[in-house]
Structure formats: C-alpha cells, structure tokens
Amino acid sequence: MSKAATINDIIKGAKEYLPHLNEKRVMEAYEFARMAHEGQKRNSGEPYIQHPLEVAKILITLHPDEDSIIAALLHDVLEDTEHTADEIKKKFGDTVLPLLTGLEKLGKVYYRGEERQIENLRKMFIAMAKDIRVILIKLADRTHNMRTLQFVPEHKRERIAQETLTVYAPIAGRLGIYKVKNELEDLCFQFLDPENYKRIAKEMQDMTKTQQDIIKVSTRILTQTLKKDGIQAEVEGRIKHFYSIFKKMKRKEKNYVADLYDVLALRLIVGSEAECYQALGIIHKHFTPLPRRFKDYIAVPKPNGYQSLHTTLVGLCPNINNQPIEVQIRTNEMDLVSKYGIAAHWQYKELKGRSIAVPEDKLSWVQGLVELHESLKSNTEFLESLNVDMFKDRIFVLTPKGDVFDLPVDATPVDFAYALHSDVGHRCKGAKANGQIVPLNYPLKNGQVVEILTSPKVEPNRYWLSFVVTSHAKQRIKHWFNSQDKGNLVKIGREMLNGQLKRYGEKPLDPSLSLLKVMDGQKLGIKEREYVLEKIGNGSMDVVTIAKKIIPEAKRKTLVKAANNNSAVLVEGVKFDKKDEVLITGEKGFKTQIASCCQPKPRNPIVGYTTRGSGVTVHKQDCKMLKGLAKERLIKSSWASEKTHEFQATIVIERRSRIGLLRDVADVFASNHLPILELENMRHTGTDVGEMTILSSFDRPETMLFVMDQLKQIPGVFKVQEK
C-alpha cells in the first residue's frame, strides 16, 4: 500500500507545474476541511480528512489549477458537514464555490436503470458542460473510493463497482484519461469477477519474468535500430492491464492469457510528427508487421484528442518466445494527451493559473449530450441514447475533405449525414464509402471516407428511424415530421383514417369530421379533431387504434357481419324478387361475367344485369353505367363463398431485406391457415429496401386486418397496406 498523502505532498506536487501556487491558500483549505470533518471517520477507521487528501493527490496527476486542488480538499464539506456556501465564498472567493456546488448538485450518481438514478446521469453531463473540472474531481473521488472498497459493507460493493464500470470508467476513457480508466476497470474487475481476476493475475505473475525480459530486450533493440538511422527515441514498455486482457480473451475466445499474442506494448517517444512516420518505416523495414494491425491515430485522432501510430511486430525477440509485440509511436505532446487526456488541453488565462478552460471543440460531444437532455423528456429515451452516444464503442469516419467525425459503432450514412448538418440529413438520397455506392442503412467502418449525396427533392423517410443509431439523427428526423405543414399532415391523416374506415364498411370523414366528435368518452372540438388527424399523419398515433375508437364495437361487429354475408344493397328504384339472386360462382346455373366498366371485386356491393345470350354481367351497385340500362333486367347478386375463403386480396409489404424475413412473413399466413396464392419480391436498385406483394384469400375482412397487424410487427417491415 502506498504512503498516505499529506498536505505537504499536495503542495510539493502542485508546485512542480504551478510555480506560482498560493501555498497559504491551499493550506487554509486543508485546515478548513480538517476542522469541518473533525471526529468523522471513514469505513476503514482512518480520519475522514485522509479521503480529501488522497483525492487531491490523485487529481494532481492531471495537473489541475489551484481552484481545483482547493475544491478537491473541500469537496465533501457542503454535503457532509454543517458549513454553508456563504462561508466557503467568504473564505475562498467566487471561483471555488461553483466547483463545490456543482459537485453537491451532482450528488451520488447511481446507475441501475431507475428513474431517479438516470436523472443523476443527466445532472452529470450538465455539470461536465458547465465546468469539466467538476467531473475530474468526481473521477478522483471515485478512484479513491474504489481503492478502499474493501472497507465498504459487502452488500454495497457490487453496486458501487458496477456503477463505476458502467459510468465512471467510460467517462474517463471518453475524456482520454486512460490511466484513471484502466485503474478503475481493474478495481471493478477485482470485485465483480474475483475468480477470473485471480486467475489472470496468477497467469500474468507466472509470465512476469519472461515478459520483463522481452520488454528489456525489445527496448534495447528498438533504441539501437532507430539510432542507426538517426532517430533519437525514448522507449518504454508496459504490460496491459488485467481487465483489458480479460476482455480481449473473451473477444478472441481464448482460455488462457498465453494464447494472446499482444499483452505487451512498447511506446516510442520521438521528437516530431514527421519522425513518427520515419520511425514506423524503419521498424517495418527491419521487423515483420502483422497485417491489418496498423492504426494511424495521428492522421485520424480519437475524439478525445489521442494521437499515436499503432503497429504490431514479429521478430523483435526471436530468442525469447518471439511473440508479437504492439508498438505505439508518438511525440512528447501526444504522450502528454495520452496520459492526461482532456486535462492536457488546459489553457491558463492568468499567470498564476487561477483560471482554467478547455478548447470548446474538445468538449462538443458533451454539449451534444446536454442538448439531448433538454430535448428528451423520457428518462428511458435519455438512457438509451446515452448508451449509444456515450458508452458504445466508437468509429471515426472522414469527409472527402479530410474532416474527422466520431460516431458509434453501427452508425449509418444517415447518421453521418445528420452529424454533418440537419439539412444534409434531410436531403440525403444516397452515400458513397471509399468511392463505392452503399445503402443508406450500411454500417460504416472505421476510417472510411464517406460522401453524402443530396437532392433538394428528397425528404426524410420514416423508414430511416428503423436503422439510425445516433440520438441526434433520430431527434432530427422526428422533429422534421413533427414540423411539417399542419395542413399536409392533416390531409395525410385523413387519407389514412378513411382507408381504415373503408375496411370497416364505414363512409369517409365528412368536412366537419363528425366521426371524431367523441373519442374515449370525451367530446372533441374541430381543432382537437384536426389534431388527431395531424398525429396520425406524423405517425404519433396509430390509425387502426383510432378507427376502432371512433366506431363502436357493436357497430363494428354489424359491419363485419354485413361484409361476411356480402349482402347487396338494392339499387335505387329497383325491387328484386327474393328468389332471384345470383351467387357469383355460377352455382345457381347463371352464366356470369364481370363488367369491364367498373370491374367489381369481392366485398363490393354488386348487382347483376341479364343480357341476351351472355348470362349475367356483374356491376358495382354505384356503377354509372347502370343508369342507362333497363331496370327490369337488373337482378339481385352477391358474392358466394368458395370453401372457407370468401374473397381474395393483395397485400403490399414495404420492407428492408434481411435473412429470414420471407420465412417470418410466410409463418404469419401459415399460422392463420391462409394460402399464399401469388408472391412477388422486388428490391429497389442500389438499396436493400423493396416491396413484397402477396395475393391471399380471406374468410372475412377482420381476418385480413388481423394478418396485416401481425405483419407490421415483423422486424424489417415498416409499412403494410392493401393494394
């Protein structure tokens, strides 16, 4: 165990990079915290003041400003003692208090999926956007808490370790502070999976001498090789941390650490960016690089600013195991960023370093999360988006001009288009990746150059919502539909609802929208009725659900029964003899044919017209041609059942191609004992989007509607309608 931190250690460490540090002010902060926590003890039994000292010691490794160090010493005073904000302000000024109040508002962040705990996550990212130092102090605080987790009651340990692994370690990584991230992950691993932790630790211990020998020999060989070609390099070696090794074993499906070939890494520090590439060429000339293991994070930096060349070499130590070794090549400035992450970008605005800021472009992703917080009302939505935008693995794609964009894994060209600009997303008609046309739902790959093709005639498609992964893209698409001209949305909603009413045998909506007058027992005014149509038009309300709400159940059953019986409505001014009826299958001896003028289909109300020598011609009851025909020749007609199925219908399914889609569609028809009489499956050129057209026969309209509802639930299907 390392030596306990003292206030002298803090001051000495800070003065190494803050030569004008106000020692008196820091000492006053320590004495104030010591007195405030007098009599309080940690779970370990040590005086409570030791915790803020350790937090300040951890924080100093990130080279914070003077106010941050003071805030670290005082970080628990407002929350755990009787002292007030006014006292802090009076004693230490206006610059420290915002850091402390930010920490106090942040509170204890839990991550277990509960509403109140997700709300704390929202607070965290708002605090990050306001002042990144608040989060750095919080990370230092959590690091010391994890170092002493063994003193916490056992029933709390797993929860604390899990939230640390889920929230704090990813944030440290996203900020580029890998030293903190790696330590947090290893500490969590130790408590969450002690069996595997001990196993890997034992295997690494058994390999330690060999690994150290490899590092020693490799360091000497690389240094000499580069020196011969005029490159002065500082070479460091390290063994990867346990949790990283464990994740790699799982990913590579290996059972033992010895099965991995890159648990070692060498770091080459050279004088300039040009020398990075020169050094790469030299070591590739003398040693064998593994294919597909080279990464250029200098040309394409990570979003947290990390830059380095990565390659994996074979043949560095032919006499010692000869295992592949990862080599990282960077400058001193790049190494600084790799160690301190976002803190390497501190900008001191005063000589004594009393003010501190980070370049805005380094924290743009944090601001994006704050905007997301403001736009999403649902905590569930916020958490889902956070998992993608914050904690998911990232890829880096480039514009044709070389600008780098950071996106989550599985991001598509549409996600990229909206990352460029909302207008680019709205007008996106296609994309090229490395010069090749790709579908809009194509998962982009790391390092690809992506060009978005746009057109002023293109508009967002609701189908995009089924494959975009970034919250920004989803919000922009939804906002576009919600902001469309109200009149247009009302018109779309009216057409959609009229289509459903027609299926139930109901008349279309009248100008005053009378059918929407009462819904769920409440009377709606004309503006409220139009609002319902608008919501149907933008997809916020389900048209089938609304149709069922405005048509009483008793009436729906009557309509279904009428449709099943296919009862013909009398043509105006014509009376039929009950015994005279044509069943349109010829079962009663009538020769029948379908009229070409109106081409009636099953379920249409029909009437027959007897012709000389040609039997009966069947018309729709509202056919205009009937007005010029002799009324005495009209004969009552209805559709007859054929076995158990009374009518045929064609269903059009708009879908995205995927393996198993056709099987899932066929299963819907088979489970309902319905035949597929005809099937046509078409794909739009250059995409995996297309239409599937199916002809089937149904016993009644309700069955068809039920089948259509089932088809809509199939993954990849985004629209189902009757042709």
Provide block-wise average pLDDT over 10 residues at a time, the chain (723 residues): 84 89 93 92 90 93 88 89 87 87 62 44 55 84 93 86 81 80 92 90 78 83 90 85 84 74 82 92 89 82 80 75 82 82 52 44 53 48 49 69 75 92 90 87 84 87 81 81 72 78 78 83 83 76 76 58 40 43 46 68 73 70 75 71 60 80 80 80 67 84 74 79 82
Are 447 and 399 in contact, with CB atoms under 8 Å apart? no
What token pair was written down for 194? 């002690």
Sheet holding 450-454, edge to edge: 436-438, 428-433, 450-454
The per-residue pLDDT for 262 is 66
Q: Which residues sit opposite 682 in a β-bridge?
A: 691
Strands 689-698 and 634-638, by their bridges, are unpaired
Burial 4-43 (b: 16+ CB within 10 A, else e): ebebeebbebbeeebeebeeebbeebbebbbebbeeeebe
- Of 16, 31, 80, 229, which is the active-site residue? 80
Asked whether the whole model's pTM tops 0.95, one would answer: no
Indicate the domain borders of the chain: 7-192, 195-343, 392-482, 486-551, 563-638, 647-722
The per-residue pLDDT for 617 is 80
Residue 457, phi then psi, degrees to nearest 5: -90, -10
Q: Which residues sit opposite 244 in a β-bridge?
A: none
The per-residue pLDDT for 562 is 44
User: Does domain 647-722 fall into CATH 1.10.260.40?
Assistant: no
What token pair was written down for 685? 């050129």
Are 630 and 574 in contact, with CB atoms under 8 Å apart? no
Q: Inter-axis angle of helices 178-192 and 332-340, to 10 degrees?
A: 40
- Of 79, 333, 572, 667, which is the active-site residue? 79
Tell me the CATH number of domain 195-343, given options 1.10.4080.10, 3.30.460.10, 3.20.20.100, 3.30.230.70: 3.30.460.10
Annotation says 410 is catalytic = no
For residue 119, give the H/E element and its range: helix 115-130
From the list 182, 338, 330, 325, the residue with the least C-alpha distance to 264 is: 325
- Topology, domain 392-482: Ubiquitin-like (UB roll) (3.10.20)
Are 311 and 326 in contact, with CB atoms under 8 Å apart? yes
Residues in the chain: 723
The per-residue pLDDT for 293 is 78
Cα separation, 499 vs 560, in Å, equals 16
The per-residue pLDDT for 368 is 55
Cα separation, 279 vs 298, in Å, equals 14
Annotation says 80 is catalytic = yes
Cα separation, 618 vs 568, in Å, equals 12
Compute CA distances 563 → 381, 507, 643, whole Å.
43, 14, 17
Look up tokens 């005086």; give the residue. 47
From the list 474, 378, 473, 391, the residue with the least C-alpha distance to 118 is: 378
Compute CA distances 29 → 24, 42, 74, 91, 259, whole Å.
9, 20, 7, 9, 52
Tell me the CATH number of domain 7-192, given options 1.10.3210.10, 3.30.470.10, 1.25.40.10, 1.20.58.220: 1.10.3210.10
